[in-house]
Amino acid sequence: MKKVFMLSVFAIVIAVTIGFTSTDANAEDVEYQVIDYLVRVDFIPVPDVDKHAVGTYERRGVAIYKDGQTAAYHSKGTWDFIDSNGPVTGYATLTYRDGSTAMTRYSGNMTKKPEKLPRYTGKGEYIKGTGKYEGIKGTVSFTGEYITPYGKETNGDSIVINKASYTLPK
């Protein structure tokens, strides 16, 4: 009886390991660069400390994959900054030439050192896909930096490097 139990446990461990391995083996790993700008930003001052505000933002741009594929990029989110430092959360959608979409929910952090433009990092997960991305599951991480400030002359243009890993249903 003890041998049967041990063999059963061993078989379950092997099955689970093979299941996780095959899921990872089917994952698509991609890297793409997003070049975008602020379309809209809303500021609401918070009077607790100097330079504290919360708000919403919308960004648009283009995603360029290492293999040459491109997609339109659109994100919307919220922020809570003290002197341009703090958390961001939001949703990003990539729309491909064939009309397929892949949507992520993300969170991250923006940091701005005196005399420098903001930088940000974060992580997210795929939450929806259409067309060839229907049923997408996976994760994304990103690092980015502004290349122009947000102001009267420029719109907070930025470059973001994204690394993603996803699976699609068979």
DSSP string, the chain: -HHHHHHHHHHHHHHHHHHHHHHHHTPEEEEEEEEEEEEEEEEEE-TTSTTEEEEEEEEEEEEEETTS-EEEEEEEEEEEEETTBEEEEEEEEEEETTS-EEEEEEEEEEE--TTS--EEEEEEEEEEEEGGGTT-EEEEEEEEEESS-BSSS-B--EEEEEEEEEE---
| Mean pLDDT on 71-84 | 97
Whether the predicted pLDDT of 5 surpasses 50: no
The pLDDT assigned to 16 comes to 43
pLDDT at 170 over 90: no
Is the pLDDT at 76 greater than 50? The verdict is: yes
Q: pTM of whole model > 0.85? A: no
The CATH class, in words, for 28-167 is mainly beta
Domains of the chain, residue spans: 28-167
Section 54-82 average pLDDT: 97
What residues contact 95, with CB distance under 8 A and at least 6 apart? 71, 72, 74, 101
Q: What is the average pLDDT across 12-34?
A: 65
What number of residues does the chain have?
Answer: 170
